[in-house]
Amino acid sequence: MYEIIETIVRSAGEIVRSAKHIDESVQEKTSHCDLVTKYDGMVQEYLRRELLTAFPEAGFYGEEEEVHDISGRSAYFIVDPIDGTMNFIRHARHSCISVGYMADGKMEYGAVYQPYTDEMFTAQRGKGAFLNGKPIRMNDVAMSESIAMFGSAIYYRETIPATAWLMQELLPLVLDFRRSGSAALDICYLAAGRADVFFEACLRPWDYAAAGLIAQEAGAVVTALDGTPLRYIDRCSVAVGSPSNYPELMEIVRRILTEPDMKGRIR
């Protein structure tokens, strides 16, 4: 089953790589910074058609146009057709396709494909994480030895103060910061040892479903910023770290959440 999913995801990458005149199809969704292109819809429709043809009993939970067919389904796909749409629009070549498979309330499989570099991150629950078929493992390092990645949750303006505060608190403690514009790739980069801690104050399930499992299988601790489990049908903050630096991140978050004006700033 998972080989079929990987083949479908890899094939969808050709739509991304072959995209032309991207700027001519850009539209706003919820705001001037929440953008979509015709290729987002094309990739999602391709994935929906191919995945449900191969697995007709499954549901489909996709980002674009609220294609959410999961009611009464015990298993379904959680799909982000192009994570990093702004990068895609600007030809930055740092975007990915993310497909997670959930069954009976648990993430069972995740595939995150970077079509420009031909990197396929995958994981099956309990079986480890892989990059192009080779095992990967997260670095288990303290915060002082960590490269931090973060997302700005820019669609959700109420989270800006908490994001800025977290950055201010973390910056003196870490080696450096990175901001790539794709949460799914950021989390997979932690799994591959390219960075060591990640946070974002608000994401949607398709941003973290597949990547979160990949990171967990690579040895990471993955939760919401308040330490609770990720929520796969709603908005949710995300914290990813090693067994060594995750407690340090949580201590900083706890201090922030005790501030009265931070209430509601983190999902």
> Tens digit of pLDDT for each residue in 138-185?
999 999 999 999 999 888 888 898 899 999 999 999 999 999 999 999
**Phi–psi pair at 100, nearest 5 degrees:** -110, 150
Question: Distance between alpha carbon 195 and the CA centroid of its chain, in Å?
Answer: 15
User: For the whole model, what pTM was predicted?
Assistant: 0.95
Element (H, E) at 119: strand 119-124
- How far CA 92 is from CA of 54, 170, 187, in Å, comes to 33, 27, 19
pLDDT higher than 90, residue 84? yes
The reply to whether 81 and 41 lie within a common domain is yes
pLDDT higher than 80, residue 57? yes
* 161 touches 262 (CB < 8 A): yes
The reply to whether 159 and 102 lie within a common domain is no
Please state, in angstroms and rounded to a whole number, the distance separating the CA atoms of residues 214 and 80: 15
- Comparing 66 with 249, which gets the higher pLDDT? 249
Positive or negative: CA dihedral 163, 165, 167, 170 = negative
Is residue 266 one of the residues assigned to a domain? Answer: no
The reply to whether 147 and 131 lie within a common domain is no
What is the per-residue pLDDT for 35?
84
In the block, residue with structure tokens 């995300």: 238
The reply to whether 102 and 194 lie within a common domain is no
Question: Distance between alpha carbon 3 and the CA centroid of its chain, in Å?
Answer: 21
CA-wise closest residue to 203 among 129, 251, 151, 265: 151
pLDDT higher than 70, residue 263? no
Q: How does pLDDT run across 7-45, given as a tens digit for each residue? A: 999 999 999 999 998 988 888 877 787 789 999 999 999
What is the per-residue pLDDT for 257?
79
pLDDT higher than 70, residue 264? no
Arithmetic mean of pLDDT, 94-98: 98
Is residue 236 one of the residues assigned to a domain? Answer: yes
Beta strands in 84-118 (DSSP E): 96-103, 106-114
What is the per-residue pLDDT for 136?
98
Is residue 40 one of the residues assigned to a domain? Answer: yes
Domain end, chosen from 114, 135, 156, is at 135
Please state, in angstroms and rounded to a whole number, the distance separating the CA atoms of residues 155 and 243: 30
Is residue 191 one of the residues assigned to a domain? Answer: yes
Least confident of 5-9, 199-203, 231-235, 248-252: 231-235
Is residue 22 one of the residues assigned to a domain? Answer: yes
The reply to whether 128 and 147 lie within a common domain is no
The reply to whether 108 and 198 lie within a common domain is no
What is the per-residue pLDDT for 108?
98
The reply to whether 59 and 165 lie within a common domain is no
The reply to whether 122 and 8 lie within a common domain is yes
Is residue 31 one of the residues assigned to a domain? Answer: yes
The reply to whether 7 and 106 lie within a common domain is yes
Please state, in angstroms and rounded to a whole number, the distance separating the CA atoms of residues 173 and 21: 43
What is the per-residue pLDDT for 169?
94
What is the per-residue pLDDT for 70?
84
In the block, residue with structure tokens 């083949």: 7
DSSP 194: S
Least confident of 9-13, 113-117, 192-196, 260-264: 260-264
The reply to whether 164 and 91 lie within a common domain is no
pLDDT higher than 80, residue 66? no
Give 196-249 as a 3 state SS string.
CEEEEEEECHHHHHHHHHHHHHCCCEEECCCCCCCCCCCCEEEEEECCCCHHHH
CA-wise closest residue to 191 among 135, 249, 133: 135
> Which two tokens mark 102?
């959930």
pLDDT higher than 80, residue 259? no
What is the per-residue pLDDT for 181?
95
What is the per-residue pLDDT for 126?
97
Summary mean pLDDT of the chain: 93
Domain end, chosen from 85, 106, 135, is at 135
Question: Distance between alpha carbon 33 and the CA centroid of its chain, in Å?
Answer: 18
CATH number for 101: 3.30.540.10
Domain end, chosen from 135, 159, 180, is at 135
Q: Which domain holds residue 41?
A: 2-135
Domain count, the chain: 2
pLDDT higher than 90, residue 72? no
CATH number for 153: 3.40.190.80
- Comparing 199 with 30, which gets the higher pLDDT? 199
The reply to whether 14 and 124 lie within a common domain is yes
Q: Where are the alpha helices (DSSP H) in the chain?
A: 2-17, 38-54, 85-89, 160-170, 183-191, 205-217, 246-257
What's at 173, amino acid-wise? L
Is residue 267 one of the residues assigned to a domain? Answer: no
Which residues, 6+ apart, have CB-to-CB distance to 136 below 8 Å? 121, 129, 130, 191, 192, 193, 218
The reply to whether 126 and 161 lie within a common domain is no
Is residue 52 one of the residues assigned to a domain? Answer: yes
Arithmetic mean of pLDDT, 242-254: 96
